[in-house]
């Protein structure tokens, strides 16, 4: 649970790799750290990349990966001589596909509505950012008190309906969040 | 004048023979087949004869008349057949002799006799080698079969005398099924071969395959170099072999070895050869056949005895007397051979054809690589799929298993799939580790899913993601932020550290 996307908020770097056998990996491709796989930073070291070959080291063991074939979003990869097939999706397309038969109430529950009338003081995130459950999204001033409004799930900021300085009513929709731990 | 040795073979064994030839000061000559004109072995030989076999109905290595013709035209002295192809073809050996060529192997008569199972078995009985209990010839009906089965115990196997390929074959577990199965075996044999002769044999449910290496000269000296266990087979094709075998005691080794030597001496055998035994769970063993050639798995014997079998094979062909005595042969440590075939273990071991983009072999003390390919080699559909053998030795079995696993981890083949992951799986299997494995291991235990493992799957998912992300991010953002380098900052960091 203790995912921290603090330094890597960019949801466009989060992908889902789905295997034919139903196994699913949620993978954050980093720019400046170890890859985050299923919410956990993994001690995987990248050794080399030559043409279609990718070499990693994990727990002292080398993993030789080779791209065998690619058909749109289907990727067949050979790891130490054994093939694994994955269907790849960005988190956005994954959410889109996942939304179809999801409970509308659950979707609404993840969205952030204003708990009270007030004024938006600051917005900490932008659309497309990743957010962790309990992490502040924006600051709302009401009755001369500043309140941090936090996310109720790990998710992606889908849409921000307000701007800094704007006054809002109670129950007004502020931010749409898509849960990613689906 | 240096002698000239023609190798009527290709691939790793051609290179192996070239090595011995050069060590003995003999000129090596190989055949260039149009089916494989850039093969690696061609680069190692002193001389190459272009066989121009593109329009022949068979590859040069199967064309006895043409090989002999080319050999005579090129002043060849000796012909080494390797394994497979014409190595156990008595007519080829005879044709070599008739044309004044020294065929490196036993006499054509010995090859012929050992190739005919009934003759080989008869000779085995004469020297006291045990055979799997069975009927002497065909049994007339199910009643007689039942009586016979009662005397040797169930299960038994019914085999069509004219049979082959599993047709006319039935395993009978108990007396009640005899009548029904005898009839169906008989009907099948009549339909398939026009001959309903059925004989009956004791059926070994979980047999092991053990074989003894024989070395003899033309002066009547014969020794054995211990055994190899080759129980790990897939459809009668050996995949992993070891020497010695953990399944027999020193006494058994001596007994089985002495019997093999006695047999070889009795038939007047010379050159290298192999006596194959099948061993039951209770340790009883039976003669199966004798191979009259050098075998693929000979290196495990070389690793534990320190004897170069191909050197000796050539030397005894030249008439040299064996200087090794039986008491000189000591088994030191343990050796394992893994056959690297370009076959897909995830898909019924279907052959893989194409380019070897890259091949990387493990290196180190006690690791021996025999291969016929290199980076850029082509695997054709014309020849055998075995591209390499990884042979590893260590002080004992436990060590050699872990060392072989490390060697397999280091092996990398890009472009084609191979049996390497399968070998890796075998070496980790409890049945193999405890040496309880039998020739039925693949049928009884193996599923392709066993080749997979969680870490490899996860890292495969990561690699797939990186590949997908690279394109996806470029298209999605159209910005330079996601060019190759920045995506791989993590990569670059790691390279520096």
Entry pTM: 0.87
Q: Looking at the complex, report in whole angstroms how far the Cα of residue B417 sits from the nearest Cα belonging to chain A.
A: 6
- Report residue A113 as tokens: 């509505």
pLDDT of the residue at B368: 98
Is the separation of the CB atoms in B63 and B37 below 8 Å?
no
CA separation for the pair B445, B452 (Å, rounded): 15
Residues 6+ apart with CB under 8 A from B416: B342, B352, B353, B354, B355, B356, B379
* pLDDT at residue A21, as a whole number: 85
Which CATH number is associated with domain B4-104? Answer: 3.40.50.20
Three-state DSSP at A4 gives coil
B447 touches chain A (CB under 8 A): no
**Residue closest to A35 by CA, chosen among A50, A61, A56:** A56
Active-site residue B19, yes or no? no
Residue A102: pLDDT band (50, 70, 90) is: low
CATH architecture label of A102-179 = Beta Barrel (2.40)
Q: How many beta-carbon contacts under 8 Å exist across A and B?
A: 132
Residue A10 makes CB contacts below 8 A (sequence gap 6+) with A128, A129, A130
Q: What pLDDT score does A29 carry?
A: 84
Helix (H, G, I), strand (E, B) or coil at B69: helix
Q: Could you report how far apart the first and last alpha carbons of chain B are, in Å?
A: 60
Residue B36 to residue B316: CA distance in whole angstroms: 32
Record the tokens describing residue B131, joined without a space.
């055979």
Distance CA(A35)–CA(B486), nearest Å, equals: 14
Longest dimension (CA), chain A: 65
Q: Which of B337, B326, B325 is nearest to B301 (CA)?
A: B337
Cβ pair A79:B413 closer than 8 A: no
Q: At what angle do helices B108-115 and B117-126 cross, to 10 degrees?
A: 100
What pLDDT does B108 receive? 97
Q: Which two tokens stand for residue B147?
A: 């009586």
Q: Would strands B285-291 and B378-379 be described as parallel, antiparallel, or unpaired?
A: unpaired
- The nearest alpha carbon in chain A to B342 belongs to A81
How far is the C-alpha of A132 from the C-alpha of A137, rounded, in Å? Answer: 10
Distance spanning both ends of chain A, measured CA to CA: 13
Say whether B494 and A73 touch across the interface (CB within 8 A): no
* ipTM reported for the complex, 2 dp: 0.86
**Which tens digit of pLDDT belongs to each residue from B52-64?**
999 999 999 999 9
Interface probe with A: pick from B339, B416, B458, most Cβ of A within 10 Å: B458
Distance from CA of A15 to the nearest CA of B (A): 7
- Give contacts of A19 with chain B, Cβ < 8 Å: 457, 461
Taking CA–CA distances from B450, the nearest residue in chain A reads A82
Name the residue among B331, B333, B332, B351 with its Cα closest to residue B341. B351
Residue B473 sits at the chain A interface (C-beta within 8 Å):
yes
Among the partner-chain residues A19, A25, A64, the one whose CB lies closest to the CB of B412 is A64
Q: Which residues in chain B come in under a pLDDT of 70?
A: 163-165, 474-497
Judging by beta carbons within 10 Å of its beta carbon (0-12, 13-18, 19+), is residue B137 exposed, middle or buried?
exposed
Q: Which of B468, B484, B487 to mutate to test the interface with A (most CBs of A within 10 A)?
A: B468
Residue of B nearest to A21 (CA): B449
Give the ranges where A12-161 is alpha helix by DSSP (H): 91-99, 104-110
Considering only CB atoms, A83 lies closest to which of B346, B410, B424, namely B346
Q: Does B451 touch chain A (CB under 8 A)?
A: yes
Q: Scanning every residue of chain A, which has its alpha carbon at the shortest distance from the alpha carbon of B482?
A: A31
Taking 3-state DSSP, the helix, strand and coil percentages for chain A, each rounded to the nearest 5, stand at: 10, 50, 40
Six-digit token string for B209: 């395959």
Q: Which residues contact B265 (CB under 8 A, 6 or more apart)?
A: B216, B220, B222
- Measured CA to CA, the distance from residue A15 to residue A30 in angstroms comes to 11
| B469 lies within 8 A of chain A by CB | yes
Distance CA B345, CA B341 (A): 10
- pLDDT on residue B455: 96
The one catalytic residue in B16, B293, B397, B424 is: B293
Q: Can you list the alpha helix ranges (DSSP code H) found in chain A?
A: 91-99, 104-110
Residue of A nearest to B487 (CA): A31
Mean residue pLDDT of chain A comes to: 85
Report d(CA A112, CA B263) in Å as an integer.
89
What are the tens digits of pLDDT across the range A123-182?
Answer: 998 888 888 888 889 999 988 888 899 998 888 888 999 999 999 999 899 999 888 775
Name which of A25, A37, A63 is nearest B456 (Cβ-Cβ). A63
Q: Which of B458, B459, B487 sits opposite A29 (nearest CB)?
A: B487
What is the reported pLDDT for A7? 47
The token duo for A107 is 């979707």
pLDDT tens-digit series, residues A82-101: 999 999 998 888 777 765 44
* Assigned fold of B208-451: D-amino Acid Aminotransferase; Chain A, domain 1 (3.30.470)
Q: In which order are the strands placed within the sheet that holds B156-160?
A: B170-172, B156-160, B198-202
Tokens of B365: 């003390």
CATH topology of domain B142-202: Dna Ligase; domain 1 (3.30.1490)
In this prediction, residue B475 carries a pLDDT of 59
Residue B494 dihedral angles phi and psi, to the nearest 5°: -70, -35
Answer yes or no: do B459 and A75 touch at CB < 8 A. no
**Alpha carbons B110 and B88: distance in angstroms, whole number:** 10
Q: Is residue B136 within 8 Å of B142, Cβ to Cβ?
A: no
Contact assignment for A19 to B457 by CB distance below 8 Å: yes
What pLDDT sits at residue B118? 82
* Per-residue confidence (pLDDT) for residue B161, from 0 to 100: 80
Collapsing DSSP to helix, strand or coil, B429 comes out as: coil
CB atoms within 10 A of CB B410: 16
Closest to A9 (Cα-Cα) out of A33, A43, A45, A44:
A33
Is B457 within 8 Å of A23 when comparing Cβ atoms?
A: yes
Q: How far apart are alpha carbons A84 and A75 in whole angstroms?
A: 8
In terms of Cα–Cα distance, which of B99, B93, B52, B34 is closest to B71? B99
- A53/B358 Cβ within 8 A: yes
- B491 to A56: CB separation less than 8 angstroms, yes or no: no
* Nearest of B326, B79, B134 to residue B212 by alpha carbon: B326
Inter-chain contact B452–A82, Cβ cutoff 8 Å? Answer: yes
């Amino acid at each position: 649970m203790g995912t921290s996307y603090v330094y890597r908020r960019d949801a466009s770097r989060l992908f889902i790799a789905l295997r034919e056998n139903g196994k699913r990996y949620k993978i954050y491709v980093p720019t400046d750290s170890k890859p985050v796989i299923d919410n956990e930073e993994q001690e995987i070291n990248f050794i080399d990349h030559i043409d279609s070959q990718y070499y990693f080291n994990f727990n002292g063991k080398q993993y030789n990966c080779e791209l065998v074939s690619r058909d749109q979003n289907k990727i067949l990869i050979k790891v130490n001589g054994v093939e694994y097939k994955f269907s790849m999706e960005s988190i956005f397309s994954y959410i889109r596909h996942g939304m179809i038969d999801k409970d509308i109430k659950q979707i609404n529950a993840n969205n952030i509505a204003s708990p009270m009338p007030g004024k938006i003081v600051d917005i900490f995130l932008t659309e497309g950012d990743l957010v962790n459950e309990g992490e502040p999204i924006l600051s709302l001033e009401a009755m001369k008190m500043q309140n941090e409004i936090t996310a109720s799930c790990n998710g992606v900021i889908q849409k921000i309906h307000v701007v800094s300085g704007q006054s809002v009513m109670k129950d007004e929709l502020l931010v749409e969040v898509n849960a990613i731990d689906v | 004048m240096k002698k000239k040795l023609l190798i009527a073979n290709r691939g790793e064994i051609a290179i192996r023979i070239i090595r011995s030839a050069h060590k003995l000061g003999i000129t090596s000559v190989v055949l260039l087949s149009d089916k494989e004109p850039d093969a690696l072995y061609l680069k190692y030989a002193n001389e190459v004869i272009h066989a121009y076999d593109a329009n022949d109905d068979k590859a040069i290595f199967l064309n006895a008349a043409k090989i002999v013709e080319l050999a005579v035209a090129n002043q060849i002295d000796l012909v080494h057949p390797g394994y497979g192809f014409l190595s156990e073809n008595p007519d080829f050996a005879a044709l070599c002799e008739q044309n004044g060529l020294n065929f490196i192997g036993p006499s054509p008569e010995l090859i012929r006799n050992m190739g005919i199972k009934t003759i080989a078995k008869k000779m085995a009985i004469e020297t006291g080698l045990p055979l799997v209990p069975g009927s002497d010839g065909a049994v007339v009906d199910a009643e007689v079969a039942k009586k016979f089965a009662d005397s040797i115990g169930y299960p038994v196997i019914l085999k069509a005398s004219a049979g082959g390929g599993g047709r006319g074959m039935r395993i009978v577990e108990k007396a009640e099924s005899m009548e029904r199965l005898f009839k169906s075996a008989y009907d099948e044999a009549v339909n398939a071969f026009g001959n309903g002769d059925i004989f009956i044999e004791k059926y070994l449910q979980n047999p092991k395959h053990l074989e003894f290496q024989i070395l003899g000269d033309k002066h009547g000296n014969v020794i054995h170099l211990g055994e190899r266990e080759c129980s790990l087979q897939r459809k009668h094709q050996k995949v992993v072999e070891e020497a010695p075998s953990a399944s027999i005691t020193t006494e058994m080794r001596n007994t089985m070895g002495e019997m093999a030597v006695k047999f070889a001496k009795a038939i007047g055998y010379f050159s290298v050869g192999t006596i194959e035994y099948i061993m039951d769970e209770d340790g009883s063993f039976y003669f199966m056949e004798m191979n009259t050639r050098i075998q693929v798995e000979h290196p495990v014997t070389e690793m534990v005895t320190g004897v170069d079998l191909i050197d000796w094979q050539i030397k005894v062909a030249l008439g040299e007397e064996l200087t090794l005595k039986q008491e000189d042969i000591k088994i030191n440590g343990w050796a394992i051979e893994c056959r690297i075939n370009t076959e897909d273990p995830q898909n019924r071991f279907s052959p893989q054809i194409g380019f070897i983009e890259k091949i990387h072999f493990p290196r180190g003390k006690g690791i021996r690589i025999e291969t016929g390919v290199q980076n850029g080699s082509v695997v054709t559909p014309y020849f055998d799929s075995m591209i390499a053998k990884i042979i590893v030795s260590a002080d004992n079995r436990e060590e050699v298993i872990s060392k072989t696993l490390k060697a397999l981890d280091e092996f990398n083949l890009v472009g084609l799939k191979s049996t390497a992951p399968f070998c890796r799986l075998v070496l980790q299997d409890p049945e193999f580790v405890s040496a309880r494995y039998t020739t039925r291991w693949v049928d009884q235990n193996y599923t392709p899913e066993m080749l997979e493992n969680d870490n490899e799957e996860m890292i495969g998912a990561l690699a797939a993601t990186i590949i997908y992300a690279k394109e996806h991010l470029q298209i999605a953002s159209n910005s330079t932020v996601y060019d190759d380098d920045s995506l791989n900052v993590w990569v670059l960091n790691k390279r520096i550290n």
